[in-house]
Amino acid sequence: MRTEQPKMIYLKDYQAPEYLIDETHLTFELHDDHTLVHAQLVMRRNPARGAGLPPLVLDGQQLELLSVSVGDSELSPADYQLDDSHLTLHPKADAFTVDTSVRIHPETNTALEGLYKSGKMFCTQCEAEGFRKITYYLDRPDVMSKFTTTVSAEQHSYPILLSNGNPIASGPSEDGRHWATWEDPFMKPAYLFALVAGDLWCVEDTFTTMSAREVALRIYVEPENIDKCQHAMTSLKKSMRWDEETYGREYDLDIFMIVAVNDFNMGAMENKGLNIFNSSAVLARAETATDAAHQRVEAIVAHEYFHNWSGNRVTCRDWFQLSLKEGFTVFRDAGFSSDMNSATVKRIQDVAYLRTHQFAEDAGPMAHPVRPDSFIEISNFYTLTVYEKGSEVVGMIHTLLGAEGFRKGSDLYFERHDGQAVTCDDFVKAMEDANGVDLTQFKRWYSQAGTPRLQVSESYDAAAKTYSLHFHQTCPATPDKAEKLPFVIPVALGLIDAHGNDLPLRLQGEPQPQGSSRVLSVTEEDQTFVFEGIEAKPLPSLLRGFSAPVKLSFDYSRDQLMVLMQHDSDGFNRWDAGQRLAVQCLQELTAQYMENQPMVLDPRLITAFGTVLANHSLDQAMVAEMLSLPSEAYLAELSDRAEVDAIHAAREFARGQIAEHLYGALWQRYQANRAISRDTAYVPEAEHFARRALQNIALSYLMLTAKPEVLEATLEQFDACDNMTERLTALAVLVNSQFDAEKAKALASFAEHFKDNPLVMDQWFSVQAGSTLPGGLKRVQALMEHPAFTLKNPNKVRALIGAFAQQNLVNFHAVDGSGYRFLADLIIQLNALNPQIAARQLSPLTRWRKYDPHRQALMRGELERILASGELSSDVYEVVSKSLA
């Protein structure tokens, strides 16, 4: 907890470090009630900072300093200054060693940052600024050092002792203890340091790299989870091969380890050679993890592995550059997932997520550029903007340069900057230099926040046979800047003729058409492109594959959208046309509801969905995506004022209508797929994901009719299936139904069966927290008393509180303010336990400006109550104070 007012840190103030640390030698003595850390730092003056010997200011927080020496002489308190976040020394020479000993308390560390205990195991989380809670250090990513680490612990409880790099020595010591020494040959910043000690089992495998080196692969878990590691191991090997084939990147140590821990603030962490994972991002097997969980494990294993190059070999100069590694690595893992599964479905899911959540962030009080200019607490900037929008920005570079040009750029980037700590500008410069292009204007994507609007209008000249598209771009004001300069917006598009075929595209001045789907660069506020040789007015298919993270508007009629849904050669745009049609219909229903009129659904939506359902040549995963109505959260994001009750009523009404009118087709596809699932052993592969996706969305529609045959089918699926995907869907449809007896029975039997599996119990909590039936808050409060629930475990907080506040809009936004009060009370508690988690759970309250005046006042009131509640962490302070500003 802070003692001073938190300070804003600015990118413009960046200065290279005054001193460097060439070598770091650490010794950890782990005990049950404390840990001793000895650090020897081999240091020198940074020659880049010129002559002179300024004070050496080491970072350190919550450390009990036991001794400090420079060279051979131990310092007395008169020789140094100590405050709650620094130790300041006064070097007398250009090169010297610093030795410190500190005592720390991992056993009481509930913030899960630095060294802490998860269950019986010791583990670390150092990114971004957690290493300073372990020892005094220059805890900044541009200080890179060679680490040697010795860990000692009691042998019986902690038989496994791990750190980064290669094991070089180990042995027993007195009193039943033992020790191990690890050496990491690669220079790295402190945020990539890791240590693990525990009673762990491991699954082992090997990988032979492109230059024929054999790498040992190990996944360490607590013994009861040893049967849930195979999927992560398979994913790891696929990732290693893919990075060789796609980016020419080879792994560089002789061993690669993953450790699964139950208590973890995020998904996983790319520590050099020793990735530490939230167990939810490693463990997966048919009986306990859904298809979505399997795909998430595959993606996160890949993401962390890919960081070995995009993050570790080439790292960030400062934390403002976070997207350098995160945006690029998300882009890389998305490419991998697309290649492993259905590329179109992956794109649809990523875009739906971006448009719902990142667009909302970009329109709220925490909006910031992909490369922020300032922050109070860096942990608050591991955001959708830095990750997901950052990945879109890299993706636009890929689109502009083409696959080959992009690869030339990434090769140059890795070669030029290997072993360095660099900036987003360095990344773009490598792309420019490798391709001979100028991306100066493009770089505004890194410095300007907010989601650009792109309004498109058309005109057709029948006599001249020309078709013109006019683009007008704007970008709303955000807290950092009111006025924005035009972006470079790559717009992939096609023009469709009356038969649904793509026309050849020839722009004015071009002798030949340049294909039938192409990318235009919109670079000005207003810009017109004229296509020639167009015999009849075409239908434009715009922003194919979502080629830029913008809000594109074009005045499509519903009939035109139905044509695009069926005929667009771009799979993503077929889906998007369906979403646009559904948004129009749902907004109409919302307005009817608000005006107290009877709701009438445009029958074209049902016709369109019926056509999709009847299409047996379409990938079933695509069918499932196309049958999914836009989420309530997305509909809220699209509206100026989020009328949660009306949105919910409208969407439920539409779902009911679809279920009723398409009952026969849904039932037929459900039964056909369930029959195959019944006879097929679980396989975590795209074709099987697709079958179950369609089966399950069909079931969730069918259950809205409450027909006895559907209840029977649901119970059959719940009882007889062999996998969590089918079981959890059956549970979810029961939980959202009026079949109270069956619901209670299913919930109880599920909990009884899985009570010892915390990850499965998280799903049980989530399904209930997400139920939009009346009484949501009461159910959540009751579940908080369940023995499997604890506020100390971030997965539990996310499963119950996060699911309620972020996905259950009607219940969370109850007009009496009870949901808001509940969340604020929890945040005050979490602030003291785990500031990172507390700050993340705040996000629904930060969006208060989206709601009606009554709710606005209630939400503001809760934010003010949090602000006044006492000593706030910098994490919570930053989010609350910016939201109220």
Site size toward Zn ion (CB under 5 A) is: 2
Residue 229 beta carbon to ligand TRP: minimum distance, rounded to whole angstroms? 20
Q: What is the DSSP letter of 452?
A: P
Please choose, from the candidates 118, 148, 140, the residue with its C-alpha nearest in 3D space to the C-alpha of residue 40: 148
Segment (H or E) for 648: helix 644-661
- Nearer to Zn ion by Cβ, of 322 and 759: the residue is 322
Q: Are 557 and 540 in contact (CB under 8 A)?
A: no
- Tell me how far apart the alpha carbons of residues 331 and 383 are, in angstroms, rounded to a whole number: 15
Closest CB to Zn ion among 235 and 737?
Answer: 235
Q: Smallest distance, Å, CB 125 to ligand TRP?
A: 5
Residue type, 587: Q
With beta carbons less than 8 A apart as the criterion, state whether 422 and 475 touch.
no
Least distance CB 6 / ligand TRP (angstroms)? 17
Q: Is 566:499 a contact under the CB 8 Å cutoff?
A: no
Q: Does the footprint of ligand TRP cover residue 124 (CB under 6 A)?
A: no
The nearest distance, CB 686 to ligand TRP, in angstroms, is 24
**196 contact partners, CB below 8 Å, separation of at least 6:** 121, 122, 123, 124, 160, 161, 162, 163, 220, 259, 274, 276
Task: Name which of 407, 423, 193 is nearest 323 in CA terms.
Answer: 423
CB of 308 to Zn ion, least distance (A): 11
For 206, the token pair is 């090997």
Alpha-carbon span 728 to 620, nearest angstrom: 20
Report how far apart the first and last C-alpha atoms of the chain are (Å, whole number). Answer: 23
Q: Considering only residues 373-432, where is the footprint of ligand TRP by CB under 6 A?
A: 379, 382
- Choose the one of Zn ion, ligand TRP, none that binds residue 266, judging by a C-beta under 5 to 8 angstroms depending on kind: ligand TRP
CA distance 668 to 665: 5
Q: How many residues bind ligand TRP (CB under 6 A)?
A: 13
Residues 361-380 that bind ligand TRP (CB under 6 A): 379
DSSP state of 566: H
Kindly tell me which of 37 and 422 has the beta carbon lying closer to Zn ion.
Answer: 422
* Residue 281 beta carbon to ligand TRP: minimum distance, rounded to whole angstroms: 10
> Distance between CA 796 and CA 792 in Å, rounded?
8
Residue 142's binding partner among Zn ion, ligand TRP, none (Cβ under 5 to 8 angstroms by kind) is none
Q: Which lies closer to Zn ion via its Cβ, residue 540 or residue 794?
A: 794
Q: Does 270 bind ligand TRP (CB under 6 A)?
A: yes
570 is a contact residue toward ligand TRP (CB under 6 A): no
Window of 123-131, 139-147, 442-450, 589-597 that interacts with ligand TRP by CB under 6 A: 123-131
Among 58, 123, 128, 623, binds ligand TRP (CB under 6 A): 128
The CB-of-377 to ligand TRP minimum distance in angstroms stands at 10
Choices 267-275, 603-611, 687-695, 794-802; region in contact with ligand TRP by CB under 6 A: 267-275
* Residues with Cβ within 8 Å of residue 626, at least 6 apart in sequence: 565, 574, 575, 578, 609, 612, 618
User: Is residue 269 close enough to count as binding ligand TRP by CB under 6 A?
Assistant: yes
* Of 537, 538, 539, 531, nearest in space to 556 by CA: 539
Give the range of 195-203, 264-272, 404-412, 416-424 binding ligand TRP by CB under 6 A: 264-272
Yes or no: say if 59 and 85 are a contact pair by the CB < 8 Å rule. yes
Listed ranges 6-14, 94-102, 268-276, 726-734: which one lies at the site for ligand TRP (CB under 6 A): 268-276
Decide the pairing of beta strands 19-30 and 160-163.
unpaired
Shortest CB 380 distance to ligand TRP, Å: 9
Q: How far is the CB of 126 from ligand TRP (least distance, A)?
A: 9
Tell me if 158 contacts ligand TRP by CB under 6 A: no
If you ran DSSP here, which 8-state letter would residue 622 be given? Answer: H
Binding mask 311-340 for ligand TRP (x = CB under 6 A): ---------------x--------------
Residue 304 DSSP label: H
Q: Which is catalytic among the residues 129, 304, 326, 862?
A: 304
* Span near Zn ion by CB under 5 A; candidates 117-125, 128-136, 221-229, 325-333: 325-333
Q: Which is nearer to ligand TRP, 132 or 727 (CB)?
A: 132
DSSP string over 424-441: HHHHHHHHHHHHT---TT
- Residue from 59, 298, 304, 568 binding ligand TRP (CB under 6 A): 304
Q: Measured from the CB of residue 275, what is the shortest distance to Zn ion in angstroms?
A: 11
Instruction: Indicate the residue among 112 and 654 with the shorter CB distance to ligand TRP.
Output: 112
**C-alpha–C-alpha distance, residues 144 and 311, integer Å:** 13
Paired tokens of 111: 């913030």
762 SS3 class: helix
Q: Measured from the CB atom, is 380 or 473 closer to ligand TRP?
A: 380
| Interface stretch with ligand TRP, choices 122-130, 286-294, 395-403, 472-480 (CB under 6 A) | 122-130
With CB under 6 A as the contact rule, which of the stretches 234-242, 260-268, 362-370, 515-523 interacts with ligand TRP?
260-268
Nearest residue relative to ligand TRP (C-beta):
266
Chain-centroid distance of CA 696 in Å reads 25
Q: How far apart are CA 388 and CA 355, in angstroms?
A: 10
By CB under 6 A, is residue 127 in contact with ligand TRP?
Answer: yes
Q: Is the Cβ of residue 193 or residue 634 nearer to ligand TRP in the bound state? A: 193
Give the nearest distance from C-beta 446 to Zn ion in angstroms. 18
Strands (E), 408-488: 421-422, 453-461, 466-474
Pick 127 or 632: Cβ nearer ligand TRP: 127
Within residues 589-608, the interface with ligand TRP by CB under 6 A covers: none
* DSSP 8-state class, residue 370: S
The pair of three-digit structure tokens given for residue 108, joined into one six-digit string:
């009481």
Side-chain half-sphere of 309: how many Cα atoms within 13 Å? Answer: 25
304 carries an active-site annotation: yes
One of 58, 260, 266, 713 touching ligand TRP (CB under 6 A): 266
- Under 8 Å between Cβ of 130 and 281: no
Token pair belonging to 164: 């980064």
Q: Closer to Zn ion at the Cβ: 417 or 688?
A: 417
Nearer to Zn ion, 136 or 191 (CB): 191
Residues 834, 190, 136: CA angle, nearest 5 degrees: 80
Note the residues at the interface with ligand TRP (CB under 6 A).
Answer: 125, 127-128, 265-266, 268-270, 303-304, 326, 379, 382
Active site residues: 304
Note the residues at the interface with Zn ion (CB under 5 A).
Answer: 326, 329
